[in-house]
Structure 1
């Protein structure tokens, strides 16, 4: 390929104001354009490095296509799945493997075709389009490109016409929600989002979605339950793409691999993942904020619950990030400044109780799963309790469970049912999910919850309001009088 694309390269720069606007989740159009240019530069550099290893031969066709239509070739090189292919190809070459290079020939063929004329060797192109209040969006619905499997989730088979129509209906309604609730975020989403890749659902999750650091503007997502789920999913994943692009230009964390607590996952996450979670939920929280204060939606307690829960999670996660670079400090401060005023906004007290409980429940279950007391400490706890002595200074250590885990909680499922006004118990009074203690706790009957939580240590800590590390309580779970133990551990 010719080097013209690299010869006229200029350094990519963002002003302090632009970096702060990105941190607040409010980039202007010029900032988004600069991020997109930087990602094109990245893909061109990957291609340049590939050519340096394999030689110019495999790029001959693409070079000819570039001379004929450089704008079209750059458009194709800027696409997310090209970034996935190029990064994977270079990694394979550097590992001494022989990756498939024929993708470059396919790219050259596509560059020679008029935009509206499909490549007969490929599945017909699909798209999703919507317009509301003068704001429009068009994205590719990619259900056939083999590279879509590299986004981290199992791709769904090609959609039939009925499935495509269902996606389009949900997308149209999701766009209406976004433009109505968060028009500025909708504008950013339309500028960044290039393609949606349908993936197979996960039976253990309500819905799954993912992005790749190599695929700026691509979202892999299972078919959403409704328009709100799609709107939130697209907001969330687009933020990941934006942050990936920012981190390509700036180091934000001095120690990105340091493990810690993430309010969005049941496994420990590196600092870079915690930052990603906080940043993705920033715009999600802004969406729920407008939903919860909309005069037409103010009776929806579920929107208030999501707003109250995630405003606290974003603020806490951002505030606990350490070892920031100067750019990272600026970015995190802008994020924190955006969410800080939201913490004082009124929420129905009953809803606020459930939101705060959900956050504490998640943290306690995370500790129980990932922090452990060593055998010597466990023996000392048992000895002191049985001897009637004061609680010894026993601590725990982070020892992550072996598998990645998304949040899963029967109490949270019951909370959602309660806020939607759905029944919590069946015809004979049996819980539809969770336990009798969970039903009592969600309803606010603390006394009944304490009686029912005989085998649920986290439930007892929550219902009793104890300030206890659950991994310490677990050491004494086989001892009688668990409430007295929790009081002793507090």
Structure 2
């Protein structure tokens, strides 16, 4: 049995959308293996590309540092490598055109290696390339500089940035690698950390350079990255996050724990004027791309919705759930445009979780009669959408054996929700279901467990 052959009962349990014991560890393990496969795919392409000597030396140095970090603290290295922005960079690099474009994209391995080594507690010295006047360390923050090159030196508890021709900046390593409580009036510094979100290891991340490099709205399913520049903006995001988690804790403690454990980043985005939307990039699970919700209920819905997309993005990287057909498209209740079957699987999975969520909102002890009635209507609306979509999926003839097991799990959960004794059936019809805009490559069935054994021609 290959390491990613998932038994039918496990697929059915995952299809029910409810958190189950051991699922988080499995998801993280699958994502890590996928990241290693993609890194080695990138390495293979680099070996065949006949890189310029300087780029080849840098690649060897960056790869060696990744190996050192993994040996020094495997858990910390794995966590840093699993950050969503690392997946966005990998997708960007794998899709880069040959020649100068690929060489430039490959330089992004340096900041990633520096981030992983910082998290793992390694000492190192790297010369890194800044882009658009900043050096971004994915998941940590960015160093603003007018220099094109920055030397980063980590020794013991201290990390120092030495911009070419500029003054050095030294910080405690712990101030870089862990979200810190926001200071009321931080001293001016070129280092801009990511803003932590309370009650979880998640951060508010508006610094991913590879989202900004997308080709307009087409690259992010109609969304555009948004910067958070004013302190009161970050406070508004943090307050909404905290109130949404409190709401989830009251209505569904297991779901609250799932969101707090799995979400690594909330990424502010813009859509059409006054429009609200959210999305998940398949290349970057555990990042919730969203416009600013108006209420804690809406924020909770967005988080639960996009976590399901992330879970399915990770699962879809290790098992094939369906066969696609250019001719076969389906109409579903949450979209006006016809969708391919993979998008129907994604949307059904997310909306099933929302049917469950709104049913639980209706049973909250603190809910008013009007809130209960509104929540029941939302649950019923989502339930009707899921009912129709399940009919399409099971009658499509496009599901694999694994996909059939998974969808049977969804059907079982829906039947429990819609039964007279368990009625909990549920909109936030997000604008970007199945935002499959990644350039992932490689075969996870051949995933290696470590970064070692890389070589360069």
TM-score by length of 1: 0.64
| Other-structure match for 1:452 | none
- Following TM superposition, by how much is the alpha carbon of 1:204 offset from its aligned partner in structure 2, in angstroms? 5.8
- Following TM superposition, by how much is the alpha carbon of 1:215 offset from its aligned partner in structure 2, in angstroms? 0.4
| Other-structure match for 2:211 | 148
Alignment of 1:252-267 (within 5 A): 252-255=321-324, 257=326, 258-267=328-337
- Following TM superposition, by how much is the alpha carbon of 1:109 offset from its aligned partner in structure 2, in angstroms? 2.6
Matched, 1:276 2:351: no
| Other-structure match for 2:385 | 313
Given candidates 105, 111, 118, the residue that maps to 1:106 is: 111
Change (3 A) 1:291 1:112: closer
Q: Which runs of 5+ in 2 are unaligned?
A: 48-55, 122-172, 178-188, 434-457
Report which of the two structures shows the higher radius of gyration computed on alpha carbons. 1
Note the alpha carbon deviations across 1:306-356, whole angstroms, 9 max, x for none.
0110011112101211121111111111101111233344999xxx9xx9x
Is 1:219–1:234's contact at 8 Å kept on the other side of the alignment? Answer: yes
Is 2:66–2:117's contact at 8 Å kept on the other side of the alignment? Answer: no
Alignment of 1:8-407 (within 5 A): 11-55=3-47, 57-70=57-70, 71=74, 72-93=76-97, 97-98=101-102, 99-113=104-118, 116-118=174-176, 123-130=192-199, 137-149=200-212, 150=214, 152=220, 153-203=223-273, 205=275, 207-255=276-324, 257=326, 258-297=328-367, 298-300=369-371, 301-321=373-393, 322-323=396-397, 324-345=399-420
Is 2:228–2:234's contact at 8 Å kept on the other side of the alignment? Answer: no
Higher strand share: 2
- Separation in 1 of the partners of 2:59 and 2:272? 39
Q: Which runs of 4+ in 1 moved over 6 A?
A: 404-407
Change (3 A) 1:158 1:197: same
3-state secondary structure, aligned to 1:42:
helix
Aligned length: 340
Is 2:285–2:314's contact at 8 Å kept on the other side of the alignment? Answer: yes
Cα RMSD after superposing both structures: 3.0
TM-score by length of 2: 0.68
Change (3 A) 1:116 1:261: same
Higher helix share: 1
Change (3 A) 1:117 1:295: closer
- Separation in 2 of the partners of 1:278 and 1:299? 27
Is 2:205–2:268's contact at 8 Å kept on the other side of the alignment? Answer: yes
Q: Greater RCO between the two (CA within 8 Å, min separation 6)?
A: 2
